[in-house]
Amino acid sequence: MITITGPLKARSLALITVLSFTAVAVACKAAPSTTPSPSTATSAASNLVGTLNPAVTQATIRATICVAGWTARIRPPSSWTGALERRQIRELGLPGTAADYEEDHLMPLALGGAPRDPRNLRPVPRATATWHDGWETRLHREVCAGTMTLTEAQAEMSRVKENLR
């Protein structure tokens, strides 16, 4: 048995973590949608993952996503997302049960994602959803702090979730 210590150990663990998340994400890639996204007004919007809430724009962030509790007010009830999750697991032929997944908004509500558009929701393995939550939180904070635009944050989130399109 080989023991790795020091900086090499940290780099090895980071690489293993990235590869693990990549493997999980690739295994959960959804079938491409044949329905065009409502967000095709611009080439930038058409490259986004998920669908957008038209009420959320750069001009409205102080009255929408940057208001404490706003996402809780627009989040669909778990009875609705649970039924959608079970249907999508069957339709996508995913292994396991709903307990293995979290019905995740592709474009998060905190970044202007559409709350009830099924094209913006996918069953994602719980570990992957938790990893995405960290990105969502960081990007949301940057948008609300004014250090990143909403469009930039949505593009970054789309890169993170590219494999879930």
Is there a contact between 113 and 52 (Cβ–Cβ < 8 Å)? yes
Q: Does residue 31 lie in a domain region?
A: no
Residue 132, number of CB atoms within 10 A of its CB: 22
Is there a contact between 151 and 142 (Cβ–Cβ < 8 Å)? no
Q: Does residue 144 lie in a domain region?
A: yes
How far, in Å, are 10, 11, 30, 67, 128 from residue 50 at the CA level?
34, 32, 12, 22, 16
Q: What is the count of structural domains for the chain?
A: 1
Alpha-helical regions (H) of 93-125: none
Q: Does residue 30 lie in a domain region?
A: no
pLDDT at 161 over 50: yes
Q: Does residue 28 lie in a domain region?
A: no
Structure tokens, 151: 């469009």
Is there a contact between 62 and 128 (Cβ–Cβ < 8 Å)? no
Q: Does residue 11 lie in a domain region?
A: no
Per-residue pLDDT of 33-86, as tens digits, reads: 333 334 333 445 668 999 999 999 999 999 999 999 999 999 999 999 999 999
Place of tokens 């944050």: 153
Q: Does residue 107 lie in a domain region?
A: yes
pLDDT at 160 over 80: yes
Q: Does residue 63 lie in a domain region?
A: yes
* Domain coverage including residue 124: 46-164
pLDDT value for 53: 97
